[in-house]
Structure 1
Amino acid sequence: MIVYTVGTFDLLHVGHLALLKHCKSLGDTLAVGVASDEVVNLYKPNVPVVPLEQRVEMLEALSCVDIVRPYHALEYVSGCKAVGADIFVIGEDWGTNSHNLDVDSYLKEMGKEIAQVRYNPRTSSTKIKQMVLAQSQASNRPH
């Protein structure tokens, strides 16, 4: 069974590790799609802090990840096809945008599974960025 998930994976943290370990537990092979900066710009206000090549390199170094595949368009069907996904893992914020509906329809048609997971409440890249900014602003204030 090939499990496929996608994300930005900026500022790799324990929430990412928990997600990836869970995904790996669902099958034999874990493939991870990594959004390019251009794709991230389509759905997030800020581009990643860590360049795509480095995000890919970090994911490739994890023992639970077998395949890392950058993607440069906001659609998931081609990624599912490319890796031969049996299970596509999505986050709790999965919406009804056309790119989400397209892959949902494709997977159902092919008899494949979508598994939805909750995000780890312990941390997120956004929380880490906010903490760094707050600390930076505090250290720049006159004492």
Structure 2
Amino acid sequence: MIVYTVGTFDLLHVGHLALLEYCSTLGGVVAVGVASDEVVNSYKPNVPVIPLDQRTEMLQALSCVNIVRPYHALEYVSACKELNVDIFVVGEDWGRKPHNLAVEAYLKAEGKQVIQVLYNPRTSSTRIKQNVLAQPNRARLMEQAIA
């Protein structure tokens, strides 16, 4: 069984780990699609903080992940075909956009599953970014991070 999930995976955190570990309980191979900066910028106002090659490298280092595949277009059917995906795991904000409907239709026609999961309430990349920006000495912290 090949389990596939996709995301930005910016600022890797325990919520990401919970998702990927859950995926590993569903099948023998976990494949992860990582959105390029261009893809993320097509649906979010900001690109990721961590560059794509570093996000990919961090995911490859996880024992619960077998395949890491960056994607550069907002469509999932080609990866599902290429990987011969059995289960596609999506988040609670999946929605009914055309690219989502296309992969759902493809997987249904192939007798494959789409499983929707709730996000881990403990954290999110957005919350981490908000916390960093809320720090009272954020200007000094940002200068130190850049230096």
With the shorter chain as reference, the TM-score category is: over 0.9
The one-letter code of the counterpart of 2:37 is D
* Structure 1 stretches of at least 4 aligned residues deviating more than 6 Å after TM superposition: none
1:43 shift after superposition? 1.1
In the aligned structure 2, how far is the partner of 1:140 from the partner of 1:104? 43
For structure 1, the residue ranges without an aligned partner over 5 or more in a row are none
Q: Give the Cα separation in 1 of the matches to 2:138 and 2:87.
A: 48
* CA distance in 2: counterparts of 1:118 and 1:69, whole angstroms: 23
> Residues of 1 paired with 2:118 and 2:21: CA distance?
13
Q: Identity percentage over the alignment? A: 73
Which residue is equivalent to 1:51?
Answer: 51
What are the within-5 Å matches in structure 2 for residues 106-125 of structure 1?
106-125=106-125
Q: Deviation per CA, 1:70-90: give whole Å up to 9, x if none.
A: 000000001111111000000
* Corresponding position of 2:137: 139
After TM superposition, the score normalised by the length of structure 2 is: 0.93
> In the TM superposition, what whole-angstrom CA distance separates every residue of 1:33-76 from its partner, at most 9, and x where no partner exists?
00000000111111000000000000000000000000000000
The within-5 A match list for 1:1-143 is: 1-135=1-135, 138-139=136-137
SS of the residue aligned with 2:116? strand
Shift in alpha-carbon separation, 1:140–1:38, aligned structure 2, 3 A = closer
Q: Deviations over 1:117-142 (max 9, x none)?
A: 0000000000000000111xx1169x
Between the aligned partners of 1:113 and 1:98, the Cα distance in structure 2 is 18
TM-score, normalisation: structure 1:
0.95
Number of residue-to-residue matches in the alignment? 139
Report the RMSD for the aligned CA atoms in angstroms: 1.0
Query: How far apart, in 1, do the equivalents of 2:128 and 2:106 lie?
Result: 35
Cα separation, partners in 2 of 1:139 and 1:35, compared to 1, 3 Å: same
